Amino acid sequence: MSQNVAKLENLIGYKFQNLPLLERAVTHRSWAYEHFPTETDEEKIREQQNESLEFVGDSVLGLAIAEQLYVRNPKLSEGDLTLMKHHLVSTGTLAKIAQNLSLGDYIRVGRGEEKTGGRRKQALLADTLEAVIAAVFFDGGYIAARALVSRIFADELRRATPKGSIDYKTLLQETLQADKLTAPTYTVINTEGPPHDRTFYVQAVWETGRVSGEGSSIKSAEMMAANLALKKLEKEKSAKRKAIN
């Protein structure tokens, strides 16, 4: 593993003082449980895999991205900066960057996870990248972690715009999760028009409500429905605040 880890150091552009930190960062829980099958101490098992590092990496990444966005876009509103940050720290963006780094080639996964294509799973790639960022943070401090984030996110940061970062479906899911509600479901309820000029109607349903959106594709109809749902939720929250006051 040490030879592979040395290659990974070159890919991310950071030399570790404590190399086992990086080894742990690329170790999935499936590998840890498989290689320590007789270990009864759950705490010792956790010490062999990267979930706790993911937790820290998420916060370090969020701070580094927020700082970069603020410095690069001092005139943008908080709302626009938030949209851009949501996009940059999303699972999709993290997985894309991890793939560009060939990070999947260095992840230690169990045989079962390997068979199901674990190295290519977006969530696993995104989580591992966060763990690597945390490992750099613990090894070299925030300045080193920030430099890593700036380097590997350079292209995404350069391309980021408020308009290009709007993902209403993700925002709706995160809004509902913040209120302890389950994620919404999307259902195509109708289609109209000929194949070359079709309109799709999609209904978004969550625990406390439902709305419908339309678009020239299922994805655009889902986005419209999610946007309408966010507006509905905000209106309901505003009404509650007024009632309390």
Burial (CB count <10 Å: 0-12, 13-18, 19+), residue 222:
buried
Query: 243 vs 42, 178, 179, 230, 240, CA distance in Å?
Result: 48, 21, 19, 20, 5
Enumerate the β-bridge partners of residue 200. Answer: 191, 215
Active site residue 167: no
The closest alpha carbon to 99, from 168, 155, 18, belongs to 155
From the CB of residue 210, how many other CB atoms can be counted at a distance below 10 Å? 14
Active site residue 58: yes
From the CB of residue 175, how many other CB atoms can be counted at a distance below 10 Å? 19
Task: Considering the candidates 23, 54, 58, 139, report the single residue annotated as catalytic.
Answer: 58
Task: Considering the candidates 23, 54, 113, 130, report the single residue annotated as catalytic.
Answer: 130
What is the per-residue DSSP string for 66-107? HHHHHHH-TTS-HHHHHHHHHHHTSHHHHHHHHHHTTGGGG-
* CA within 13 Å, CB half, 149: 32
Query: How many residues are listed for the chain in this entry?
Result: 245
Residues noted as catalytic: 58, 130
